[in-house]
Amino acid sequence: MGTVTLGVSIAVPEPYGSFLQKRREGFGDPHAHGIPTHVTLLPPTEVDASLLPAIEAHLAEVAAAGRPFRMRLSGTGTFRPLSPVVFVNVVEGSPECARLQKQLRDASGPVPRELQFPYHPHVTVAHGIAEEAMDRAFEELAHYEAEWTIEGFALYEQGEDGIWRLERDFPFGPFGTDAPGTSAVPAAVPRQGSTSPLPRPFT
């Protein structure tokens, strides 16, 4: 069956997603037009295609145990000089994102994955562009604010054309882990055929 490259992320909803995507385009990022705004949970991971059913079941189980949570973005940060990335900070919702990403790539699951750098949830607004443009992104979005409720995450697959496409949504369970009697796993919502790309790489 070969291999596929997967990623898991939380989409930044409208109107925030389009706004930040357009700003990224304005800073001169050549990939911005094809990168929906998001927070990465599982970076690009190559797996055997035969594992997809087990992976989807694992994602559904993680989602079933989760509960909706608030996410708030505020101001900018950067990974420079270690990595050429400027991002908008996740100032509320970081612990929940960290817990989810750890569960998704747990060594006992079907997608064990070691990270190159410590996990730091963020929303990329500039990647790999001229330093002057990176500085402008950092400065012009320094006072940016956005807030919404996260109700699930999604699985994406990278096509042979390099485009990341939405495969399935995984909504959180109605009660989460704190409520009794909630062992049922909600069905994942298929989104086959979407042409929405995600960044190469997930950042």
Per-residue pLDDT for 110 more than 60?
yes
Q: What is the mean pLDDT of residues 79-107?
A: 96
What is the distance between the alpha carbons of residues 64 and 61, in angstroms, rounded to a whole number? 5
Name the residue among 20, 47, 203, 200 with its Cα closest to residue 112. 47
* pLDDT surpasses 80 at 182: no
Q: What confidence score (pLDDT) does residue 163 get? A: 75
pLDDT-wise least confident of 100-104, 144-148, 163-167, 180-184: 180-184
Alpha-helical segments (H) within the chain: 16-26, 52-64, 94-104, 131-140
Q: 195 pLDDT band (50/70/90 cuts)?
A: very low
Count the Cβ atoms, other than its own, within 10 Å of residue 128.
12
Q: Is the distance from CB of 125 to CB of 141 less than 8 angstroms?
A: yes
Question: What is the model's pLDDT at position 157?
Answer: 87
Residue 92 confidence (pLDDT) above 90: yes
Q: According to the model, what pLDDT value does residue 166 have? A: 86
pLDDT at 183: 34
pLDDT tens per residue across span 131-170: 999 999 999 999 999 999 999 999 988 888 777 788 999 9
Q: What percent of the chain has pLDDT over 90?
A: 69
Label residue 174 by pLDDT band (50, 70, 90): confident
What percent of the chain is modeled with pLDDT above 70? Answer: 85
List, for residues 6-48, the tens digit of each pLDDT value. 999 999 999 999 999 999 999 999 878 777 789 999 998 999 9
Q: Give residue 36's pLDDT.
A: 79
pLDDT at 35: 73
Beta bridge partners of 39: 10
Reported pTM: 0.82
